[in-house]
Amino acid sequence: MQASTLALKRRFRRASRRTRRRSERGYTLVEILVVITIIGLLMALVGPRVLNYLTESKVKTARIQIQSFASALDLFFLDAGRYPTSAEGLAILVRPTTGITAWNGPYLKGGTVPSDPWGKPYLYRSPGEHGAYDVVSLGSDGQDGGTGTAADITSWTP
User: For residues 117 and 140, what is the distance between their CA atoms, to the nearest angstrom?
Assistant: 8
Q: CB burial class (10 A; 0-12, 13-18, 19+) of residue 155?
A: buried
Tell me the mean pLDDT in the region 104-108.
Answer: 85
Nearest CA to 97 out of 119, 72, 80 is that of 80
- pLDDT at residue 102, as a whole number: 83
Confidence tier at 101 by pLDDT (50, 70, 90): confident
Q: What is the pTM of this model?
A: 0.67
Task: Name the pairing type of β-strands 153-154 and 123-125.
Answer: unpaired
Least confident of 41-45, 46-50, 89-93: 46-50
User: For residues 138 and 119, what is the distance between their CA atoms, to the nearest angstrom?
Assistant: 11
Thinking of the domain 2-154, which architecture would CATH place it in? Answer: 2-Layer Sandwich (3.30)
DSSP string across 109-139: TTSSPPPPTTS-PPEEESS-SSSS-EEEE-T
Mean confidence (pLDDT) of the chain = 84
Tell me the mean pLDDT in the region 113-119.
Answer: 91
Nearest CA to 62 out of 145, 126, 134, 136 is that of 136
**Within 13 Å, how many C-alpha atoms sit on residue 147's CB side?**
0
How many CB atoms neighbour CB 86 within 10 A?
Answer: 14
- pLDDT at residue 147, as a whole number: 81
Is the pLDDT score of 150 beyond 60?
yes
- pLDDT at residue 16, as a whole number: 61
pLDDT in tens, 16-25: 665 555 556 7
- pLDDT at residue 64, as a whole number: 93
- pLDDT at residue 15, as a whole number: 63
Tell me the mean pLDDT in the region 42-70.
Answer: 86
Q: Could you state, in order of their start, the residue ranges of all structural domains in the chain?
A: 2-154
Is the pLDDT score of 56 beyond 90?
no
